[in-house]
Chains A and B, each alone.
Chain A
Amino acid sequence: MKVTLAMKPAAKGFIPIEAESIVPKNFLSGTDLLVWRGNRELRLDEVFSVSVEGEADRAEGVEVVLSGETFRLKRVGEYMDGGKITVLGDIGMHCGNFMTAGTIEIHGNADGWLGREMAGGAIVCRGDVADYCASGYRGGRKGMKGGTVEVFGRAGDFLAENLADGTVIVHGDAGDMPGAEMRGGTLIVHGDCSRPAANMKGGSCYVYGTAREMIPTFKKIGPVQHDGRTLIQFAGDLANRGKGNLFVKNYEYLD
């Protein structure tokens, strides 16, 4: 089954829409769903032109395709447990929060908190992601707990904060403090970033470019070979009695 949701132009188009009802499973029982614009509850078809092709009897057989001005559309794919969501343009905050299975593919950019507290499944973003991609919630101890997030563009700050398990790959640069407080899982940044893995307790963080403003409390172990690259291995963060591994191609301290 393919569900196509094309965003309609709206009078107060600047007000964000929260649409956690947009998960593949929900379309198995029709398109009679509700979304919120600010404090107003609206029917799905008041916000989208909805069309459905084919049939499915389980979430895995459903693909939801979102088009139009979707960059203010929040919480799409929250608690998603199977199936596929394709976003043709940009997507708003909290896409794929808590998801446990299935795939989300975003052709444009993703706003903050993409895949927050995700536990399984896969998210692919062809564009850039804003801050707190694959992170946790305020005050929580564990961020992402499983699954994969792959970003082909750049990532904002605090990428994979509190990462507990799963894999996060960014092909471009990342901002400040990727992998802060991470305690497990794998984070790979192909480009440059600043202050990776600050206060880490466990897990592995790889920076294939330059790590600027390296945290001074990582202990240098020495060069290692990784995936055809020579990287320098560090252990830390000693400030946090951490037992994580940080691998960087190049690094600079703020001295």
Chain B
Amino acid sequence: MTELLVKNACVIDPLRGINGDVMDIAIRDGKIVEEVSDAAEVVDARGMLTMPGGIDSHTHICGTKVNFGRYMSPEDMRAGRTPRRGPMHATSGYSVPTTYGNSYRYSVMGYTTLLEGAMAPLEARHTHEEFTYTPLQDTMANTLFDGNWAIMEAIRDGDIKRVAAIIAWTLSAVKGFGVKLTNPGGTEAWQWGKNVSCIRDPVPYFEVTPAEIIRSVVEANELLHLPHSVHLHCNNLGTPGNYTCTLGSMGLIPDLNPKRQTLYATHVQYHAYGGSGWKDFCSKSEPIANFVSMRPQIVIDMGQVMFGRTTTMTADGPMEFNLYRLHHDKWSNHDVELETGSGIIPVVYRRKNLVNSIMWSIGLELALLTKSPWQCLLTTDNPNGAPFVKYPEIIALLMSKRYRDAEFATVHPDTGSRVPLPAIERELDWNEIAVMTRAGAARALGIQDLGKGHLAPGADADIAIYPLKIDEVDPSAEYQKVIDGFSQTEYTIKRGRVVARRGECLVHGSNATFWVRPKVPENYDMSKDPDFIEKFERYYTVRMSNYPVQEEYLSRNRCIETEADL
């Protein structure tokens, strides 16, 4: 039995409605408890801002595509190298760090749970291997279904239950957590070098539209009672005028789940563009944020862009090719048979570039204009908009109008006429930041009942203690203190152990992987479905028996079982 007592913490725990109370937190064997014995080890938090461990609800840290980003970028790798030190392994990389680099840097910022945003089922084993080497965070993977042949065929046949059954089999097989649609239909079209223009454009050969894919998969997701909703990367990412497509996609979604949203739309900054081309490119954050504010069934994340160098990577292959034609830099693409694809290119976002300045502005606007912080979570779509190490700066921008104005003065001079940002007075408070970075993420992912995102007795003892005295710091004026405070915890506690202290990681750790196994009736078990098996064996290049990810790949196995309504 190990016990820990965090004393005198200034706690913000939005899921329990605690906002700045000074209290003690008792921990036994990795869980929060009511009280501990006098023998407990004591961590003195002396009025420091203490919150549940950070949860990144959309990041790219592990798997085929991320690793290819590293593989092709030795010039990025040499930017962030540290040697082996104590229990810390060597790290390399800035925008796509090594797994240890990601894990340590997130831990130092107080993050304890990460959702990998895109995992191709066929290559899931790779993601899980990298999860093992991400020792200081619990992990889970969104599984890609955007170009899944069997699902598109079932949709064409109007068989939603079969869609659900295929999702159920695949998630169980690949140890996936959530259902991800990246440019639904577009990734299949891209395997012919084509794309879909918006949600009504049929996918070549399969003759289903992105709208049908989105609606059917959303319905199937709810039939399976998955903890998370469908996680959507809308069609048409990054193109001027795409906000209508985004609104159209969101408009497809009924409110089907009382506990959480029915649709999680990710990196919406990239989908909130107006204009008919780059010349009249402008922000459409207002219609998007207004639309979201009126619909509880939708949660979005920012996908904030920050200036500097980074690497873009997404399953959205055609979008990356368009970027390549714009930048003419390195371009990688990786299509995955019968399922999905991905693309990677390095980019530099520049203040002097009007389009980049508008993008930077849109992300902030979405967060400031969406009324409830529970509906707009803080991300950069790491590393697409910026590496996650920029989160503290984003927090400071959201909390300080003065900081935004100072930054705005340095961006492209025409930005002001294209965006509403300068007129927005709102400054988020500490509680709202806590919602956007942990409580809201836990609720959106559907993991608060698994003890994530709050500090109630029974919860996992994942805690971030920041060297910030919230009654002394005025975030509106002292934004540098906010940045510094969120950059490095005083203590990061993971499963009841202090894992990071003032920038140093102290233990090797072993993470848990959350995955979902929906229970379906016998007649919906795809592993026994003759048609499914026959097509699998004919058109995949691996045998169906070699496809499932074995449990050996999960260092700590957190299986979530659901009962499907089929």
| Chain A residues at the B interface, C-beta cutoff of 8 Å | 137-141
Contact = CB atoms under 8 A, between A and B. Distances in A.
Interface centre among A139, A140, A141, by most B CB within 10 Å? A139
A128 B179 CA distance: 60
Nearest to A201: B328
Interface in B48-91: 72-76, 78
Contacts of B329: 141
A141 B345 CA distance: 13
Contacts of B72: 139
Contacts of A140: 75
7 pairs of A and B residues whose beta carbons are closest in the complex: A139-B74, A139-B75, A138-B74, A140-B75, A139-B73, A137-B75, A137-B74
A240 B73 CA distance: 21
A140 B73 CA distance: 8
A143 to B, nearest CB: 12
Contacts of A138: 74-75
Interface in B282-332: 329
B155 to A, nearest CB: 42
Contacts of B74: 137-139
A138 B74 CA distance: 6
Contacts of A137: 74-75, 78
13 contacts: A137-B74, A137-B75, A137-B78, A138-B74, A138-B75, A139-B72, A139-B73, A139-B74, A139-B75, A139-B76, A140-B75, A141-B75, A141-B329
A195 B114 CA distance: 50
Nearest to B76: A139
A97 to B, nearest CB: 12
Nearest to A137: B75
Chain B interface size, as a band, is under 10
A141 B76 CA distance: 12
B268 to A, nearest CB: 31
A14 B548 CA distance: 50
A137 B329 CA distance: 16
Q: What is the interface of chain A mostly: helix, strand, loop, or mixed?
A: loop
A247 B76 CA distance: 35
A191 B275 CA distance: 56
Contacts of B75: 137-141
A244 to B, nearest CB: 16
Nearest to B77: A139
Contacts of A139: 72-76
B128 to A, nearest CB: 28
Nearest to B328: A241
Nearest to B330: A139
Nearest to A138: B74
A137 B75 CA distance: 7
Given A137-B75, A139-B76, A141-B329, 10 more contacts: A137-B74, A137-B78, A138-B74, A138-B75, A139-B72, A139-B73, A139-B74, A139-B75, A140-B75, A141-B75
A34 B73 CA distance: 31
B346 to A, nearest CB: 9
A183 to B, nearest CB: 12
A208 to B, nearest CB: 33
Nearest to A136: B75
A74 to B, nearest CB: 16
Contacts of A141: 75, 329
B315 to A, nearest CB: 23
Nearest to A142: B75
Nearest to B72: A139
A140 B78 CA distance: 11
B80 to A, nearest CB: 15
B69 to A, nearest CB: 12
A138 B76 CA distance: 10
Interface string B483-514: 00000000000000000000000000000000
Nearest to A240: B328
Interface centre among B73, B75, B76, by most A CB within 10 Å? B75
A181 to B, nearest CB: 13
A61 B414 CA distance: 49
Nearest to B78: A137
A139 to B, nearest CB: 4
A241 to B, nearest CB: 9
B293 to A, nearest CB: 43
Contacts of B78: 137
A141 B74 CA distance: 11
A89 B15 CA distance: 71
B93 to A, nearest CB: 12
A141 B330 CA distance: 10
A137 B74 CA distance: 8
A114 to B, nearest CB: 19
A56 B112 CA distance: 54
B297 to A, nearest CB: 44
A105 B75 CA distance: 29
A123 to B, nearest CB: 22
A176 B325 CA distance: 30
A120 to B, nearest CB: 21
A64 B498 CA distance: 50
A94 to B, nearest CB: 13
Nearest to A241: B328
B81 to A, nearest CB: 13
Interface string B355-367: 0000000000000
A221 B72 CA distance: 37
A139 B78 CA distance: 11
B328 to A, nearest CB: 9
A139 B73 CA distance: 6
A138 B78 CA distance: 10
A131 B485 CA distance: 48
Interface in B8-46: none
A78 B73 CA distance: 23
A189 to B, nearest CB: 27
A138 B77 CA distance: 11
A7 B203 CA distance: 70
Interface string B446-482: 0000000000000000000000000000000000000
Contacts of B73: 139
A48 B72 CA distance: 39
Interface in B71-126: 72-76, 78
B500 to A, nearest CB: 28
A255 B328 CA distance: 31
Nearest to B71: A139
B345 to A, nearest CB: 13
A138 B75 CA distance: 7
B121 to A, nearest CB: 30
A29 to B, nearest CB: 25
A87 to B, nearest CB: 26
A140 B72 CA distance: 10
A139 B68 CA distance: 13
Nearest to B73: A139
Contacts of B76: 139
A210 B453 CA distance: 70
A106 B75 CA distance: 29
A200 to B, nearest CB: 15
A178 B352 CA distance: 35
A137 B76 CA distance: 11
A104 B72 CA distance: 33
Nearest to A141: B329
